[in-house]
Structure 1
Amino acid sequence: MEFDAVLLAGGRARRFGADKPAAPVGGRALVEWTAAAVAGASRLIVVGPRRDVLPGAVVVREDPPGAGPVPALRAGLAEVRAPRLALLAADMPFLRPAHVARLLDAIGDRPGAVLLDGDGREQWLAGCWRPAALREALDAYEGASLRGLLGPLDPVPVAVPGGARPAWYDCDTPEALAAAERLL
């Protein structure tokens, strides 16, 4: 199934206090872990500053840099060529290709599919979408909330087993990064 991947790897990382996607866990940068989950993508599009860890990736910046996920999605979506895309945060060390495949399969004839966390909440930066649906939604959207943009598209909710290393786990704080290191 042909798809492109858009990794959101910019932002200000206020809670993290450093370049979060470049932070190492298990000997690899967080962004490398997320990129490995979409290794089957036709194109890897990284929205954020250029880093030397993903050769071959298309790197773009949101305008202005650090403006948030909606402008970042807009910038990444401009580079998408495939009929489907994986939209992911760049700080998910336990997301695997099987999870992405499950999201892609779940889309069916809907606009998208989004991963649910262990409490049943949508993880808006862990989903797969039809680019045309996202472009249409972005054209009509003036807000700043990713949930406000994606929620009305009524994506298919996808639950996966949690376990010790849940697919939706993200590293938003140094403490979460340290916990991910222990879990690896």
Structure 2
Amino acid sequence: MAFDPVAYDAVLLAGGRARRFGGDKPAAPVGGRTLLEWAADAASGASQLIVVGPPRDVLPGAVVVREDPPGGGPVPALRAGLGQVRASWLVLLAADLPFLRPAHVARLLDEARGRAGAVLVDGDGREQWLAGCWRTATLRDALDAYQGSSLRGLLGPLEPVPVAVPDGDRPAWYDCDTRDDLAAAERLL
């Protein structure tokens, strides 16, 4: 039995300073679309799309909120996005994952059933904390009790199911942290 894809909201983290990238990373084009559009497409089954970051004229209908302080990192961004979540599950994604697809998100949701969540792991088995799904109530409780600033410190203790997907030429976990990463993604697309 597959997970009901309508039963989740998506939180896309599209703020941050992008120091290594040198510009508005989520708005950067690759393959004829912005990185933010690729991430939104991966979560196309979401009941609600919540974008945390500065307003952009890219995703009509998305709820846009700002982390406090702006550029404060993924934990404050998650706090801001989680405040808008209404569904019992949420998908948490970075806005720089051009190869993540709806099938990957569906797999994360399916693997998480009966657990606190599931997180994508890269080819070396490392958790990709900005590509996962979480039971909303569990994440809210954890965030309410958390005083740190590390996403791993917040999410790791929830013991999510690690989900590996075939790497192929376009690994789902590939993120674009630098302009070179973006150029490599453009070549792979």
Q: TM-score, normalised by structure 2?
A: 0.97
4+ long deviations beyond 2 Å: none
What SS class does the counterpart of residue 91 from structure 2 fall into? strand
**Residue 85 of structure 2 aligns with which residue?**
80
**AA paired with 1:55?**
P
**Residue 89 of structure 1 aligns with which residue?**
94
**Residue 172 of structure 1 aligns with which residue?**
177
**AA paired with 1:102?**
R
Q: Does 1:153 align with 2:158?
A: yes
Size of the aligned set, in residue pairs, is: 184
Q: Does 1:29 align with 2:40?
A: no
Unaligned runs of 5+ in 2: none
- Same amino acid, percent of matched pairs: 80
**Residue 124 of structure 2 aligns with which residue?**
119
1:177 is displaced (CA, Å) by 0.1
CA displacement 1:21-46 (0-9 Å, x = unmatched) = 00000111000000000111000000
Tell me the distance in 2 between the aligned counterparts of 1:57 and 1:11. Answer: 18
**Residue 132 of structure 1 aligns with which residue?**
137
What SS class does the counterpart of residue 11 from structure 2 fall into? strand
1:102 is displaced (CA, Å) by 0.2
Tell me the distance in 2 between the aligned counterparts of 1:28 and 1:4. Answer: 22
Tell me the distance in 2 between the aligned counterparts of 1:106 and 1:162. Answer: 18
Q: TM-score, normalised by structure 1?
A: 0.99
Unaligned runs of 5+ in 1: none
**Residue 54 of structure 1 aligns with which residue?**
59
What SS class does the counterpart of residue 185 from structure 2 fall into? helix
Tell me the distance in 1 between the aligned counterparts of 2:168 and 2:102. Answer: 17
**Residue 13 of structure 2 aligns with which residue?**
8
Tell me the distance in 1 between the aligned counterparts of 2:160 and 2:42. Answer: 20
1:108 is displaced (CA, Å) by 1.4
CA RMSD, Structure 1 to Structure 2 (Å): 0.4
